[in-house]
Every structure is written in structure tokens, then in C-alpha cells.
């Protein structure tokens, strides 16, 4: 019960402040990890810490993948524009 109260207080304090340092991915992971840790043997705080770390890792991994896809798309667009410019006839003088 004490672990739930501490976790709830922490989450409410982070959510209510304007300058929260926890990213949403960390907060989501902490909630899931805290619940899982509590159910698995009264280790809610340990689960919350692990969940935060995993959530942060997964968010960075997804961000890198999105950045890589955006770069690949930009490169494909540039190649398509270059190919379209090559097919246009030369202007008459």
C-alpha cells in the first residue's frame, strides 16, 4: 500500500509541474514496471525504475528508426527529382 501511495504521489507531482523532467516514455514504463514489480513480489519501486529505463530506451530506439526512415525518404525524393530533371528535354534557344 505504501508503494502505491509513493508511486501515485510521484506521478502526480511530475504530471502537475510545468517542468517535469520525466519523458512520457519513462512515465509510461514506470507505471507498468511499478505495477508489475508490485504484483511480482512487492518490488514496485524497483519495477518502476526498470520500467522507466526500458521505456526511455524504447523511445530512443523508435526515434532513431523514424529519423533513419525520414533520411531514406528524403534521399529517394532527391533521386526521383534528379531522374525527372534528366528526362526533360533541353530548352530551345
pTM: 0.58
Residue 18 inside a domain? The answer is no
Q: Number of structural domains, the chain? A: 1
Give me the pLDDT at residue 5, please.
Answer: 66
The number of angstroms, rounded, from the C-alpha of 66 to the middle of its chain's C-alpha atoms is 10
d(CA 47, CA 38): 7
Side-chain-facing half-sphere of 58: CA atoms under 13 Å: 13
d(CA 48, CA 52): 6
Domain that holds residue 49: 26-83
3-15, pLDDT tens digit by residue?
Answer: 666 666 666 655 5
43-59, pLDDT tens digit by residue?
Answer: 888 888 898 888 889 98
Residue 7 inside a domain? The answer is no
Residue 4 inside a domain? The answer is no
Q: For the chain, give the number of residues.
A: 93
Residue 72 inside a domain? The answer is yes
16-44, pLDDT tens digit by residue?
Answer: 444 445 567 788 888 888 888 888 888 88
Amino acid at each position: 500500500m505504501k508503494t502505491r501511495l509513493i508511486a501515485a504521489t510521484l506521478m502526480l507531482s511530475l504530471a502537475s509541474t510545468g517542468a517535469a523532467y520525466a519523458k512520457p516514455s519513462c512515465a509510461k514504463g514506470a507505471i507498468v514496471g511499478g505495477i508489475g514489480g508490485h504484483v511480482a513480489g512487492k518490488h514496485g519501486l524497483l519495477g518502476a525504475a526498470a520500467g522507466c529505463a526500458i521505456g526511455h530506451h524504447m523511445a530512443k530506439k523508435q526515434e532513431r528508426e523514424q529519423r533513419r526512415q525520414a533520411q531514406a525518404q528524403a534521399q529517394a525524393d532527391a533521386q526521383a527529382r534528379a531522374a525527372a530533371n534528366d528526362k526533360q528535354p533541353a530548352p530551345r534557344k
